[in-house]
Every structure is written in structure tokens, then in C-alpha cells.
Amino acid sequence: MSGIRRETAADYRAVEELHRNAFWNVHVPGCCEHYLAHVLRKHPDFIPELDLVYELDGEIVGNVMYTKSELLEESGNSTGILTFGPIGVAPEYQRRGIGKALLEASFDIAAGLGYPAIAIFGDPDNYVARGFRSCKRYNVCLEGDIFPAALLVKELKPGFFDGRKLVFRESPAYEIQERDAEAFDAGFPPKEKAFRPSQETFFILSHSTIG
Ligand SMILES: CC(C)(COP(=O)(O)OP(=O)(O)OC[C@H]1O[C@@H](n2cnc3c(N)ncnc32)[C@H](O)[C@@H]1OP(=O)(O)O)[C@@H](O)C(=O)NCCC(=O)NCCS
């Protein structure tokens, strides 16, 4: 079997192993995305319809998960939007269009569910080709008028962003404790933590804002 489908409970461990392999030493020495996948599924903001796997000859080689997030207007009005993450593709299958296929399938489902937009923290290199733009272009910021370089936004409903200021609030589902992730990781085979230059790129990007 090959193609994109919803994740089932039988896939959970394979998906967690996939994220562990995809993210290991990429952003920090080791990673916590496999633990994040493990806890996200149980959170009320998790969206099962948008929990997609890419299966290749019976093997799970990609996964994307989504949560509900919010955009707040100055008037206090709030609109429910989406955030994805983690998204991971098995290292030996990266850069072959699997991430792209997962995202495009998820955008169609997300639009069908009626969500007007997606906002994520991510590397623009991975997402501008998928229609994401800087948050600054749409006047979407964090509390305190902060426009992070990594905050990227995609419109699903054309014209949804009309220049009014919107404050992005991510789901608390992403607030995980490092020690809990470490304890969860102990249940997987040992894997060496190491420095990679991508960790410095991640540090720079995740501490940068647009003026
Ligand atoms: C990021 C990731 C999910 C992308 O999935 P993928 O299957 O490898 O990516 P794709 O082959 O679908 O390419 C997606 C886009 O990445 C970019 N891309 C592809 N190859 C690239 C390369 N060598 N260098 C930089 N960007 C590249 C392009 O924008 C491409 O889209 P395009 O072909 O339409 O221009 C995957 O590489 C991964 O799991 N990486 C490790 C974990 C991670 O960093 N996750 C994302 C956290 S923000």
C-alpha cells in the first residue's frame, strides 16, 4: 500500500519513531518531536482529520499533525485557525516530494473543514513554496507587536487577511517539558546526541524578528 491516509492507533509507534529519526540532532542535540506527537494526539486542540501519514510499500515514511490555534483581534474577537507540527519525513526519503504531498493533501482537507488560515513557526525554506508568507505581510504578530521571522502564515480563504492586526495564539498543546520528553525517549533504542550546524541555524531563526 502506498499513499496518504489518516493515522490509526496501529501506526502510533512507527510515527513516533519516524519523528525521532527525522528530527534527531536537527534543531537541538537529540529531539523531542516524537514525544510531542505522543502527547498531541490526546490534547483537545488536536485535529484527527488532519493527522496524515504517507505510506510507501507498507512503511510509514511521513506524517503531519495539526492543532487548533487562534487569531485575536483588538476588539477581542477570536477566529479559530490551524497550526501544523510536527511534520517529518524519514531521512532516507527526504527531498523527494513527500512533505509537499502531505502538506498539499492537508491543505485541501483543512479548507474543506472551513478553516480560513494556517500559521506556523517554521523555516521559510521549507514553506514559502507551499504558499506561506511572512506574518508581517498580513499584520499577524505575537502579543506585544512581535513579528518573528519564523512565523509564517497561509491564507486558505482568499481575502481573510485584510490588514487588521491579528495576534496569533498557538495551542498550549505544544508546551511540553524537556524532562518528560527525555523520560519518553528512554523507551527508544539509544541514539547519539551531537552538534549539527543546523542547530545554530535554528537558534538564529527562532530568535529573529522582523522590524
Ligand atoms: C522538512 C521536511 C518535512 C520536508 O519534507 P520533504 O519530503 O523532505 O520535502 P519535499 O521533497 O516535499 O520538498 C518540500 C520543499 O522543500 C524545499 N526543498 C526541497 N529540497 C530542498 C533542499 N535541498 N534545500 C532546501 N530546500 C529544499 C522546497 O521548497 C520544496 O518544495 P518545492 O520542490 O515545491 O520547491 C523533511 O525534510 C523533514 O522531515 N526534515 C526534518 C524535520 C524537519 O525539519 N521538519 C520541519 C520542521 S519546521
Q: What is the domain extent for residue 167? A: 3-172
Residue 102 CA to its chain's centroid (Å): 12
Share of the chain above pLDDT 70, in %: 100
What is the position in ligand 1's atom list of the atom closest to the CA of 89?
39
- Phi/psi at 66 (nearest 5 deg)? -130, 155
Environment class of 65 (CB within 10 Å of its CB; exposed 0-12, middle 13-18, buried 19+): buried
Q: From the CA of 15, how far away is ligand 1's center (Å)?
A: 18
Q: What is the pTM of this model?
A: 0.96
Please check whether residue 143 lies inside any domain of the structure: yes
Q: What is the predicted pLDDT for the residue at 5?
A: 98
Residue found under cell 511534520: 87
Share of the chain above pLDDT 90, in %: 99
CATH number of the domain that 129 lies in?
3.40.630.30
Between CA 130 and CA 84 the distance in angstroms is: 13
What is the position in ligand 1's atom list of the atom closest to the CA of 102?
12
Q: What is the mean pLDDT of the chain?
A: 97
Query: Is 161 strand, coil or helix?
Result: coil
Q: What is the predicted pLDDT for the residue at 208?
A: 98
Domain count, the chain: 1
Please check whether residue 188 lies inside any domain of the structure: no
Q: Are 22 and 57 in contact (CB under 8 A)?
A: no
Which residue ranges of the chain lie beneath pLDDT 50? Answer: none
Please check whether residue 186 lies inside any domain of the structure: no
pLDDT tens, position by position, 29-46:
999 999 999 999 999 999
Please check whether residue 94 lies inside any domain of the structure: yes
Q: What is the predicted pLDDT for the residue at 120?
A: 98
Q: Are 117 and 155 in contact (CB under 8 A)?
A: yes
Please check whether residue 65 lies inside any domain of the structure: yes
Atom 24 (ligand 1) nearest CA: 125
Please check whether residue 185 lies inside any domain of the structure: no
pLDDT tens, position by position, 188-198:
999 999 999 99
Please check whether residue 85 lies inside any domain of the structure: yes
Ligand 1 site: residues with CB under 6 angstroms?
22-23, 26, 87-89, 94-100, 122-123, 125-126, 129
Best of 20, 53, 95 for a ligand 1 pocket test (most atoms within 8 Å of beta carbon): 95
What is the position in ligand 1's atom list of the atom closest to the CA of 103?
12
